Amino acid sequence: MIYNLDKINELAEGDNDFIMAVVGVFLEEVPQDLAELEVALRQKNFESVYKLAHKIKPNVDLLGMEDTRKIALNIETLGKKGKSEEAEITRLVPLLKEDINQVVSELKNDFSF
């Protein structure tokens, strides 16, 4: 398991509906944002790459995915620099995708979505 619910549990203060809502939003938004990030990279739209990585970062952070947050932060930072960092962004995006896909699968299983 590469996620943990410590931050969410702290925020939720025992409110299971809140936890379910956060997990549901993650499952709905993050895979879509990731798909859009991949399209932006193929189109060499580095402004969108930056914005989408920036949007993904707090979602993975909330689920305690520290390594994944670091990858998203790197993509965000490199996206600001643009085309000169295309090769490194291209290397990092599959790592981000792998982590997110694993967590989506785990969350769906763990929370019966």
Q: How many whole angstroms separate alpha carbon 66 and alpha carbon 81?
A: 23
Rounded to two decimals, what is the model's pTM? Answer: 0.93
Give per-residue pLDDT as tens, 5-37: 999 999 999 899 999 999 999 999 999 999 999
Residue ranges of domains in the chain: 6-106
Cβ atoms of residues 73 and 57 within 8 Å? yes
Q: How many whole angstroms separate alpha carbon 17 and alpha carbon 14?
A: 9
Q: Does domain 6-106 have CATH number 1.20.120.160?
A: yes
Q: How many whole angstroms separate alpha carbon 60 and alpha carbon 78?
A: 18
Q: How many whole angstroms separate alpha carbon 42 and alpha carbon 111?
A: 33
Nearest residue to 18 via CA among 7, 2, 32 = 7
- Write out the chain's pLDDT in tens, 113 residues: 789 999 999 999 989 999 999 999 999 999 999 999 999 999 999 999 999 999 999 999 999 999 999 999 999 999 999 999 999 999 999 999 999 999 999 999 999 88
Going 98 to 57 to 43 to 104, the CA torsion angle's sign is: positive
Cβ atoms of residues 31 and 100 within 8 Å? yes
